[in-house]
Amino acid sequence: MLYEYLPILIFLALALLFATVMLSAGFIFGGSNPDDEKNSPYECGFEPFEDSRMKFDVRFYLVAILFIIFDLEIAFLFPWAVVLDHIGLEGYLAMAIFIFILLIGFIYEWKKGALEWD
Amino acid sequence: MFDLFYIPEIILSIGILLVIVIDLYIEKQKYFSYLLIQFLIILASFYALTEVPTHAYSSYEFSKFTSLIKFLLLVGALIIFHYTYRHLNYLNNLKIEYFTISVLGLIGTMIMISAYSLLMLYLGIELLSLALYALIGFNKASKLSSEAAIKYYILGAMSSGILLFGISLIYGFTGSIDYFEIAEQISSVNNNSVQFLGIIFGMIFITASLCFKFGAAPFHIWVPDIYQGSLVSTTILLSTLPKVAVFVVFLKLYFIPFITLAFIWSDILIFIGIASIVIGSIFALTQENMKRLLAYSAISNIGFIILAMGLVTDDGLNASLYYTIVYSFTALASFGIITHITSNSHGIEDISDLAGLSKTHPYFAILILITMLSSAGIPPLIGFHAKLMVIQALINNSYIILSVLVVLMTVISAYYYLRIIKTIYFENRENLISTYTRNNILLSINVILLLGLGVFPFIMFDITSYLASILVDISI
């Protein structure tokens, strides 16, 4: 029973080894030349330390929402692809209709200019 | 396979996708897109009336009853869109998206009516609610509108969660989500078992959630705020179509799967009904805002409908059907008039804004007079017959004390309806009301129907008793 988990143990050991080797190699052989900028935590597009209740561009929300819709579509497509040979033509058509409706949403957002930043 | 395309829901869903795309390319001609949507609704209502599809799908039902109710809803939507177009055009807030979202909500109500399993019911309710969240927040210039949308969104999401919890309990204890199978399971369960307790628990959760959607008393807090915050055109939509759909859902749920539990839900519904009538009538007394006042009036009207349904008798069922149709008619008229009256280019908000209407617009003044008298239940008008039927059903089932209470509340509610009339006819003010039209034929027909059907009440009696008789056909 426990024997079946052996591959996972081997995987964990390999991952640990790999990470240790890479990190220590960088630490030992790489040059070190720190300054203030390099030591500060990095975050894309924002100042790292300030009040969290700041204003930021509403277009970020728009992009995030548009992303979520198409991301969820993938979440539906995966289980559908796995059972496709069981659900047959009916299942295929159902997904085709679903994608078609999403396509209309995509045309709508494109035409309305939601994908343009400026 | 191909008669599938004559189902009104399919016509509307495919058509509305086309309208969305067409509207993108002819953005300037909004009137054309609007006409296209109206044409779609007429087409769908035509197919709702003609031959009922013979297909039987699990979890979805077509019958004469559902087709007729769908026809009523589609005609209601037609009239509401007619009012809405002119109203939004006047407010410079016209977007075709308003209509497309409304049609999606309309499809939601039709799914609710035809639903024959709890999950299909949930799907319909969710589609309707999502459309309403967007419509309530449509007036982006107004803070109240956004506030109302967020309030409705949070409360609506919570009530959907409660509904799902109830559904999962029912599913867990009966092993089915199909109405008929649930009915069979419940009738074979021993009254003292744990299973029975679980089913009742689930049923009460579902009841609470549906009462929220209905706007009935212990769950009514959202109604005035949302009515006040949204545009008047959204308020008409909120106060007519979803109410009819939720009413049908109530009927189907209680008279098919939960019919053997009638000795439990009867008391619950009677309590909710009485509480709604009392709260709606008393809280409306102090309202200064027209829309809030009509919201409380809607709560008390919903109370009458639920109270009549809670009697579990034929005359109670008839009375609640009658009351629902009359209420939708009256709400259509009263909110319809308000969409036509604007005070210096914004909608009427306070009752005092209406002062002097009889001098400047005697036509609208008379329409409001008739509508308000009908809501108050003054004899020759149809509102009287609706209230009479409910009270008669109460007396026939020997709820004497309750019927006295209901009559008392009707008298109290007459005060605030009459106050509106008093403001219109006996008060004056400086800056007078402006309107974008002097009259509207549909509105006049609507109000004259309130009077005409009141003088000849048997036309409506026949329609509702026919509806009630074909409802019995489907429930086993």
How do the domains of chain A map onto residue ranges?
53-118
Q: What is the pLDDT of residue B47?
A: 85
Q: Does A86 touch chain B (CB under 8 A)?
A: no
Give helix B64-90 / helix B232-255 axis angle, nearest 10°.
Answer: 170
Partner residues linked to B434 by β-bridges: B342
Does the CB of B24 have a partner CB in chain A at under 8 Å?
yes
Nearest residue to B369 via CA among B432, B451, B436: B451
Tell me the pTM.
0.86
Grouping H, G, I as helix, E, B as strand and the rest as coil, residue A7 is: helix
Average pLDDT over residues B100-120: 92
- Judge: B24–A101 Cβ closer than 8 Å, yes or no: no
Tokens of A101: 């409706």
pLDDT tens-digit readout, B188-197: 888 888 889 9
B474, B124 in Cβ contact below 8 A?
Answer: no
Test B17 with A101 for CB contact under 8 angstroms: yes
Higher pLDDT pick, B471 / B49: B49
> Quick check: B436 and B364 in contact, CB under 8 A?
no
- B107 or B51: which leads in pLDDT: B107
Q: Is A111 on the interface with B (CB under 8 A)?
A: yes
A108:B17 CB<8 A: no
Q: Does A108 sit within 8 Å of B24, measured CB to CB?
A: yes
Is the pLDDT score of B180 beyond 60?
Answer: yes
Tell me the C-alpha distance between B358 and B355, whole Å.
8
**Distance between A69 CA and the closest CA of chain B, angstroms:** 15
Q: What is the pLDDT of residues B270-286, one digit of tens each?
A: 999 999 999 999 999 88
> Does B187 have pLDDT greater than 50?
yes
Could you tell me which residue, B343 or B122, shows the higher pLDDT? B122
Q: Is residue A15 predicted with pLDDT exceeding 80?
A: yes
Q: Give the other-Cβ count within 10 Å of B364's Cβ.
A: 24
Among B9, B24, B104, the strongest candidate for a mutation testing the A interface, having the largest count of A CBs within 10 A, is B24
Q: Are B308 and B393 in contact (CB under 8 A)?
A: yes
Cβ of A107 within 8 Å of Cβ of B21? The answer is yes
pLDDT of B475 above 50: no
Amino acid occupying residue A32: S
How many Å apart are CA B320 and CA A96, to the nearest integer?
43
Residue A100 token pair: 């078609």
B14-18, B89-93, B434-438: lowest mean pLDDT where? B434-438
pLDDT averaged over every residue in chain B: 87
The domain made up of A53-118 is a member of CATH 1.10.287.1080: no
User: Mind telling me how many Å the CA of B351 is from chain A's nearest CA?
Assistant: 38
CB B279 within 8 A of CB B292: no
| Helices marked H in B310-361 | 314-340, 357-360
Output phi, psi for B160, to 5 deg: -65, -40
For chain A, the maximum distance between any two Cα atoms, rounded to a whole number of angstroms, is 63
Mean pLDDT of B144-165: 93
Contacts of B180 (CB under 8 A, 6+ apart): B116, B256, B257, B476
Confidence at residue B472, expressed as pLDDT on a 0 to 100 scale? 59
Q: Count A/B contacts: CB-CB distance under 8 Å.
A: 12
C-alpha–C-alpha distance, residues B430 and B415, integer Å: 26
Over residues A63-107, the pLDDT tens digits come to 888 888 888 888 889 999 999 989 889 899 999 999 999 899 889
Cβ–Cβ of B24/A111 closer than 8 Å?
Answer: yes
Residue A103 has which token pair? Answer: 């396509």
* Mean pLDDT score, B420-439: 77
B476, pLDDT greater than 50? no
Q: Give contacts of B20 with chain A, Cβ < 8 Å.
A: 104, 108
Identify the band that residue B349 occupies on the pLDDT scale cut at 50, 70 and 90.
confident
For residue B161, name the pLDDT band (cuts at 50, 70, 90).
very high
CA of B75 to nearest chain A CA: how many angstroms apart?
Answer: 27
∠ CA B392-B298-B62, rounded to 5°: 80
Q: Do B21 and A108 touch (CB under 8 A)?
A: yes
